[in-house]
Amino acid sequence: MDRLWPRGVRKPDAAIDLWAKDISPSTALRKWFDHDPARWPEFRRRYAAELRRHPDELAELRARARREPVTLVFAARDELHNDAVVLRAVLLGR
């Protein structure tokens, strides 16, 4: 999910099939949010807008999710306020 690979995790050890960093939040948005829960509503709105600019990548991910289980992996410590939560909602049409 994240644009940056997590420190201390080797790519071969992660066993991740697809790293969709092109649909992760932009660097500017990620830095602005800075994992501040007070900015969460605005982050969700801005990130959803960024996601709408990648319809092909979203369609590919939705198609994959229809065929098989998809796990969104993220490095944030906050399980409620992170980019994977927003992406999941968008994929589910919420």
With CA atoms as reference, report the closest residue to 59 among 90, 35, 31: 90
CB-based contacts of 93: which residues, under 8 Å, 6+ apart?
A: none
Q: Which two tokens stand for residue 45?
A: 């709105």
Q: Which two tokens stand for residue 92?
A: 């589910």
Amino acid at 50: E
The series of mean pLDDT values per 10 residues for the chain, 94 residues long, is 74 78 92 96 97 94 92 88 95 87
d(CA 46, CA 32): 11
Query: What's the pTM value of the predicted model, to 2 decimals?
Result: 0.85
Q: What per-residue confidence (pLDDT) applies to 1? A: 62
50-77 pLDDT tens trace: 999 999 999 999 999 999 999 888 888 8
